[in-house]
Amino acid sequence: MTRNAASLALPLLAGAALLTAGCAASAGANPATSASGAPSASSASAKPALVGSQWRLKSDPKAWFWVQGSNISGNDSCNSLTGSATALNTADRVDFGAGLAATQRYCPDPKGTQTAISEALKGERIWSRNGTELVLTDPDNNRAWTFVLTPAGSSSSAAPTPIAPRSASAAPSGAPTAR
């Protein structure tokens, strides 16, 4: 897939999921099946897209990732992460490629969080969503990683925080100032 096609794949997947989510079935009807009992196109809306959401590793909420278009950013509880993903032909598959680039700070990792998120966001993954939980599964060995949706406007300390530039006249509290 070319880079331009890859950059369009996830937003198109998100748009399709949102579009089908808006097409609700009539009252009393099962939206996952048609009148014949066969699965309908709207059943795909049961799994909203990954795009535009922040996901935290369930075992350690300090590790998170955010998908915006085909770009991914995040943190493994120590290092900043960045990379891209490509939606595959099936609606429930995504390819993170060789993995994400990361800063190289050394931090103790007794819970294995850094390894877990870097493995979860590498290669082809099957994704499924149940409410606020996202599960990424390796199709080769069925290893799975569970992430939890971060509510919009969450003030969790692990959320990305913009850093305002410090003016030359502003010194940290308690720091010596030039006279």
35-64 pLDDT, tens digit per residue, is 333 333 333 333 446 788 899 999 999 999
- What whole-number distance in Å separates Cα of residue 43 and Cα of residue 115? 34
53-149 folds as Lipocalin (2.40.128)
Burial (CB < 10 A; 0-12, 13-18, 19+), residue 63, is buried
The mean pLDDT of the chain is 69
pLDDT tens by residue, 124-142? 999 999 989 999 999 999 9
The structure's pTM equals 0.59
Vertex 56 angle, CA 67 and 87, to 5°: 30
**Residue 74 near residue 96, CB atoms below 8 Å:** no
